[in-house]
A = this chain, B = another copy of it.
Amino acid sequence: MQDIIDSSVVENENAARLTGLNRDYAALGDKLGRRGVSIDAIRDKVAAFGIAIPSWGVGTGGTRFARFPGPGEPRDIFDKIEDCAVIDQLTCATPRISLHIPWDKADPQALKEAASRFGLGFDAINSNTFQDQPGQRRSYKFGSLSHTDAATRQQAVEHNLECIEIGKAIGSKALTVWIGDGSNFPGQSDFARAFDRYLGSMKAVYAALPEDWRVFTEHKMYEPAFYSTVVQDWGTNYLIAKELGPKAYCLVDLGHHAPNVNIEMIVSRLIQFGKLGGFHFNDSKYGDDDLDAGSIDPYRLFLVFNELVEAERREAPGFQPAHMLDQSHNVTDPIESLMVSAGEVRRAYAQALLVDRQALAEAQEANDALMASEALKAAFRTDVEPILASARLKAGGAVDPVAAYRASGYRRKVAEKRPATEGSGGGIV
């Protein structure tokens, strides 16, 4: 397994932080020990928790107004794999990449080799029927899997079938389907008929799923359609998973809900009814902002993980959620954002592991709302950074991934060989 960042750089950076880390780890271990919690056991659980990186996440993102690329933008999927390898080398938290087709289309064997060179594998594969591609016969302007025109639906189905084939070739075990279908005007779309057509198309996709695969459907309240979307919320998403069958699950993107919605409760419901497929982690203040996970409302992320840890403990049937980041890095170096975000997801997991579940359950049973709240907050306010850092260090990564990355000069180096790209005006012309 090949390192991208010179290991001596990482070692130097780690060395400078070792004393501090050891003292903080010991102090936290002491504190947790008083509660009868083993810090090492927590650390090991965290170390085993992997988050998938979306291939598109390593490029600079943009809005409909503009995209401002940074230096050294990846030119193709192979550059992207290298960037992902940097992330995993330093964080030891992101062993899999999630591809987007056709953006990442390439020879499957070459993809596998490129990834395995860095010890990376492939997560769920993502289809794309929200954009038109050169050479495509029918446009998705008015929809894809739910289009009024049968041939367009068929084209979209076939694209998903092709994604499954690619996924099989590279070792994926799941297909993620998010569509942009919807409407911009009341009346434009007949809700019931559009949903019927969508279900019909998805049944054709579902039929082609290999035995050991799952399909994740993703709901979203709005954007790119601004009056209605075909898969608008978890209620519709649940209906889809139910109609399709046991291999169909719901994917939750944290930024795809109405304002104020209690997302952790949706997570709980989907777990309870056996249909939680996984997550697209990110954070949001207004809508599908695709901001870095945990950057806006870290307590909300923790509350989601509180549900996941509880489900793990109860061994909820069919519970094996997929964890992926899905963010748009418009003003940061994408590699840095992804490293930090993977850390934030693990942080929420670590904090959730620290919840005193017996105290919580007793407070709930006694309707002691204050103590129940305190049980969560006590875990949340624990500074688990020493746990995260120790997990990275033990796995051969960096105590401080961003510092090591900056010290390595990676971005500067790739900028020398990857040509500068121009910004774009987004969708507004």
Contact = CB atoms under 8 A, between A and B. Distances in A.
Residue with the greatest number of chain B CB neighbours at <10 A, chosen from A34, A68, A370: A370
Which of the listed residues A67, A193, A273 has the most CB atoms from chain B within 10 Å of its own CB? A67
A425 B189 CA distance: 24
A317 interface: no
A367 B269 contact: no
A12 interface: no
A294 to B, nearest CB: 8
Interface in A225-279: 226-228, 232-236, 238-239, 257-262, 264-266, 268-269, 271-273
Q: Which of A64, A259, A333, A425 has the most CB of B within 10 A?
A: A64
Given A62-B428, A224-B65, A332 B370 contact: yes
A140 interface: yes
Contact of A27 (B30, B303, B310): B30
A363 to B, nearest CB: 7
Interface stretch (A162-170, A379-387, A409-417): A379-387
A148 interface: yes
B372 A185 contact: yes
Interface string A349-376: 0000000000011011111011111111
B340 A190 contact: no
Contacts of A287: 222, 286-287
Contacts of A180: 65-66
A104 to B, nearest CB: 11
Contact of A221 (B260, B364, B425): B260
Given A31-B23, A333-B370, A226 B186 contact: no
A56 B273 CA distance: 37
A186 B67 contact: no
Contacts of A332: 184-185, 369-370
Contact of A337 (B261, B268, B361, B370): B370
Given A67-B427, A142-B331, A224-B65, A259 B258 contact: yes
A296 B299 contact: yes
Q: Which of A234, A364, A365 has the most CB of B within 10 A?
A: A364
Contacts of A295: 185-186, 227, 373, 377
Contact of A66 (B130, B189, B268, B271): B130
A336 interface: yes
A428 B299 contact: no
Contact of A233 (B103, B183, B235, B372): B235
A132 interface: yes
Interface string A280-303: 000011110111101111111001
A223 B383 contact: no
B402 A224 contact: no
18 contacts: A56-B428, A56-B429, A61-B427, A134-B422, A141-B367, A148-B367, A184-B291, A185-B295, A185-B372, A186-B303, A191-B268, A191-B269, A196-B272, A232-B262, A258-B258, A286-B287, A381-B383, A426-B426
